[in-house]
Amino acid sequence: MEQLTEVDNTFVQMESNRTPMHITPVIFYDQSMAPGGNVRFKDILEVFRCNLHKSKIFRRKLTGGTLGFDTPYWIEDADFDLEFHVRHIALPHPGDWRQLCILMARLHARGLDMRRPLWEAYVIEGLNEVEGLPANSFAIMLKIHHAAIDGVSGAEIISAIHSPEPDTPLPTPDDDWQGEAPPPLREVWTNAYINNLKRPVRLITTVSELIPNVRKANRLSEERGSEEHEVSRQKTRFNARVSSHRVTDTLVMELPRIKKIRQCVPGTTINDVIVTVVSGAMRKYLDARGELPEHSLSCAAPINVRQERNSESKGNQVGVMTIDMATDIEDPVQRLQAVYHNSLNSKETSQVVGTGVMMDVTRSLWPQFANITIRAATLAADRDSLPMPIHTVISNVPGPQAPLYLAGARVHMLMGLGPLVDMSGLFHAVISGMGLISINFLSCREMMPDPDFYKQCLVESYDELEQATFLKEKPRARRKKKA
């Protein structure tokens, strides 16, 4: 039995029919190398069955609520049923990319059963007409609740069901596993009483450490002065209450070409290039509707604060950095340069304040108070008079570059979908792997009724940036001297 952390508990409390709080990696496979060139569903079930012991996430569920006075507990589910969690479906006719996007959006919009282990896997067949995929491909869409993983620790599940070679034998299933009974109510409430005695002391310590850091950050901002780029706090169409309907699509790029783009501006990172592509797309999309703010939009970029020596620590280990996206700059190279400098400033500020400051504050609050605060902040932000700190989320998770296999089928491409919440109705999940990098956007259907157009904006933004950096890099031809 293990108690849920306060940070992870916020994701449980934010769960609703409109805002399911799961992360969804989508993995595409080429089964031409599998025995007989075909992977059967029972083979995939066996892979999961033989690897359940590699991650606690697979078989544990939540229990032991205390009406918000403390966080619930993870216990091993004595009624665990693998075939409930691993499901087999086929892509509806006509089986093309658009139909796949519709299917992924619908599956992602459905919440998980919070009474069971918080994950589901959909094995999707019928992808023969999907452009860009090898013939006879299939996909696995893996939904995992954010309370169970963050973007980085999610690699644990992905690595658990894959092997580095196509013919690696399956491990022996763990026959010693046993389910657990829910903890006695007396124990749950006793722990809640003790934990709530500790929280005020923890809060005082956290605030006392935070105040001088905030002062340092303010001085740093004052020193930058006019160098600071003016950021819009105006709401966009994506800063509103989300519905239960989702739309999604993906831009897939070659990783070496992204690396070539960043070489144009010394010091830039792959993430800077991605932010520049997204900012160009949002600029185009909003400008086409006459909704582009005069000043720049900003994005929230989750960052990993999981220390190497503590990589197996409990719960989510993630902070958030806010980046000015320079959407008020039309020239793509100049925008990339601005994003690079803005990212450096944001990193410097985050290091001064502390990248895990929100985690520390959340751990110090009573769960019931934290839940009320989150709901109150969301309702307050819905008022037009209040400023908007972010306009989208861009989550960049590096994936595996070395080949991976499942039941002999080779991983061809990875994608992903993130959660939407009120006031944040546009999410960009960026995943790299197998020499490719994808920008997978997710939005509310009412906010983005035309995902095809936003996909076009992403494509045009990327093409313009690549072309501009190519022209900047290309040396001028020398003129021949006259005889």
Is residue 23 predicted with pLDDT exceeding 70? yes
**Per-residue confidence band for 483, with pLDDT thresholds at 50, 70 and 90:** very low
Catalytic residue among 108, 146, 162, 428: 146
Q: At 435, give phi and psi (nearest 5°).
A: 80, 5
pLDDT in tens, 224-256: 655 555 565 788 999 999 999 999 999 999 999
| Residue 232: predicted pLDDT | 58
Percent of the chain scored above 70 by pLDDT?
82
For the domain spanning 2-167, the CATH number is 3.30.559.10
More confident: 285 or 370: 285
User: pLDDT tens digits for 25-73?
Assistant: 999 999 998 888 899 999 999 999 999 999 999 999 999 877 778 889 9
Query: Would you call 146 a catalytic residue per the annotation?
Result: yes
Of 121-130, 172-181, 398-407, 451-460, which gets the smallest average pLDDT? 172-181
Residue 291 — very low, low, confident or very high, per pLDDT cuts 50/70/90? very high
The whole-chain average pLDDT of the chain stands at 86
> CATH for 206-397+420-473, among 3.30.559.30, 3.50.50.60, 3.40.50.670, 2.60.40.3620?
3.30.559.30
pLDDT digits (tens, 9 = 90+) for 271-280: 999 999 999 9
Tell me whether domains 2-167 and 206-397+420-473 share a fold. yes
**pLDDT band with cut points at 50, 70 and 90 for residue 311:** very low
Kindly state the average pLDDT of the residues 298-324.
Answer: 72
Q: What is the pLDDT of residue 221?
A: 63
- Residue ranges covered by each domain of the chain: 2-167, 206-397+420-473
Lowest model confidence (mean pLDDT) among 11-20, 155-164, 204-213: 204-213
pTM of the model: 0.89
